[in-house]
């Protein structure tokens, strides 16, 4: 066996069989250092490995490879502890950061924005729709109230003027003022009669003198397809009950608009007061509010999508820059550590950072210095 002096490094070849006892000492010829040598323990011979059976059935003998001698022998393949070979593909740090800090937050933000916009649209439609219904109901009640009021006034006048004939209703200015009153801006009230045995419906007080006393069925031709809606409300008082409903009317400019009419019988008579007007006169402010609400909703939607797009761009840029920088530093430290592991102890670590990556770089630098000093001591010995 070979003994090395710890002081000067001189080598001596010692025959273990000549050592008497367990320990022997001698003086180094170079530096006079006393060297203590211990007799190595004898190890029992290792049993030979069992024969190896080849796949084709042939039996071969396994022999250990020569370790200390320079002779060639059958080699046994072992798995290296460290390898610089290419690693299998896997999800790296940069894709993970993009998924965790960019993709998932953007998905959640987009879902939240869609829910917010959907709820805002529903709220806007609910408010405007309910407002339109409430205003329409109030307008209908107001028209009905006007019809009942006119009916009571006409009833009192007829009771106080029992000799007034229906053919003279339009000629009596006082009665006409009571029977024909404005409703809204363009609406009015009129007075007509429930037919007797002749089954002819006639109007006796109206803003249009051309239809006074005529058979109201003659309006079927000028009204055309809009006549059934008007006629249904007009004759709905047959049983002495109040009638109301919508119908379409043609204006002087040949345009068609929806009107609402309430027909109230005059108690104790065969006459009926009809109050009619365009309902959009009451609902027009609500329609303007609905249009304004829709415009505001659209602007809010565009604003939300703009903020979402800007957030998407900003977060993507931040995550991309930070992820590339972090992944680059870790990759650089990995390459340096691999170079140190194969003995390249002069590898330079060029990372100046005041975070955990900087701490890791300093730790690898200290490890590099420690390995270099250990190897220098070993070479010195």
Give CA separation, 34 vs 8, 26, 27, 216, 343, in Å.
12, 6, 4, 143, 34
Query: Where do the H-state alpha helices sit in the chain?
Result: 93-98, 104-160, 173-179, 220-223, 227-234, 280-341, 356-380
Q: Which residue has the higher pLDDT, 377 or 168?
A: 168
| The pLDDT value given to residue 147 | 95
Under DSSP, the state recorded for 197 is T
> Quick one: 122-287 is in which CATH superfamily?
PAS domain (3.30.450.20)
Q: Is the pLDDT of residue 137 over 50?
A: yes
Domain boundaries, the chain: 122-287, 343-381
pLDDT tier at 264 (50, 70, 90 boundaries)? very high
pLDDT tens digit sequence for 5-38: 777 767 777 877 777 777 887 788 777 778 887 7
| The pLDDT value given to residue 72 | 42
Q: Is 252 helix (H, G, I), strand (E, B) or coil?
A: coil
3-state helix, strand, coil in the chain (%, to 5): 50, 15, 35
Max intra-chain CA distance, the chain = 164
Quote the tokens at residue 215. Answer: 């058979």
- The pLDDT of 207-229, averaged and rounded, is 89
| The pLDDT value given to residue 146 | 95
Q: Is 170 helix (H, G, I), strand (E, B) or coil?
A: coil
For the chain, the residue count is: 381
| The pLDDT value given to residue 69 | 38
Q: Are 204 and 195 in contact (CB under 8 A)?
A: no
Give CA separation, 159 vs 16, 152, 170, 267, 293, in Å.
152, 11, 17, 11, 52
């Amino acid at each position: 066996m070979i003994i090395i002096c710890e002081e000067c490094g001189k080598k001596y070849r010692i025959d273990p069989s000549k050592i008497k006892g367990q320990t022997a000492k001698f003086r180094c010829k170079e530096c006079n250092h006393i060297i203590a040598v211990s007799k190595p323990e004898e190890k029992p011979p290792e049993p030979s490995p069992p024969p190896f059976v080849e796949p084709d059935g042939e039996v071969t003998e396994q022999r250990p490879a020569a370790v200390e001698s320079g002779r060639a022998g059958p080699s046994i393949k072992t798995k290296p502890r460290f390898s610089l070979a290419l690693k299998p593909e896997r999800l790296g740090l940069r894709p993970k950061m993009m998924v965790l800090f960019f993709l998932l937050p953007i998905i959640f933000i987009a879902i939240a924005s869609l829910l917010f916009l959907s709820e805002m649209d529903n709220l806007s439609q609910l408010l405007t729709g309910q407002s339109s219904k409430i205003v329409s109901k109030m307008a209908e009640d107001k028209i009905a109230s006007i019809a009942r009021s006119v009916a009571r006034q006409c009833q009192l006048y007829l009771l106080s003027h029992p000799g007034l004939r229906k053919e003279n209703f339009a000629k009596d200015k006082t009665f006409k003022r009571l029977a024909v009153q404005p409703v809204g801006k363009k609406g009015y009230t009129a007075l007509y009669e429930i037919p007797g045995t002749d089954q002819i419906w006639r109007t006796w007080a109206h803003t249009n003198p051309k239809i006074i006393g005529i058979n109201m069925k003659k309006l079927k031709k000028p009204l055309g397809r809009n006549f059934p809606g008007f006629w249904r409300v007009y004759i709905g008082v047959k049983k002495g009950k109040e009638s109301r409903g919508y119908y379409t009317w043609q204006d002087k400019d040949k345009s068609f608009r929806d009107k609402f009419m309430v027909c109230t019988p005059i108690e104790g008579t065969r006459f009926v007061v009809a109050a009619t007007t365009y309902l959009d006169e009451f609902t027009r402010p609500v329609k303007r509010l609905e249009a304004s609400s829709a415009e505001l909703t659209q602007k809010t939607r565009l604003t939300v999508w703009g903020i979402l797009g800007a957030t998407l761009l900003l977060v993507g840029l931040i995550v991309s820059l930070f992820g590339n920088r972090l992944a680059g530093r870790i990759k650089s430290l990995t390459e340096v550590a691999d170079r140190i592991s194969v003995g390249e102890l002069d590898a330079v670590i060029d990372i100046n950072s005041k975070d955990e990556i900087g701490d890791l770089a300093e730790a690898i630098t200290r490890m590099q210095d420690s390995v270099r000093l250990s190897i220098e001591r070993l070479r010195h010995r």
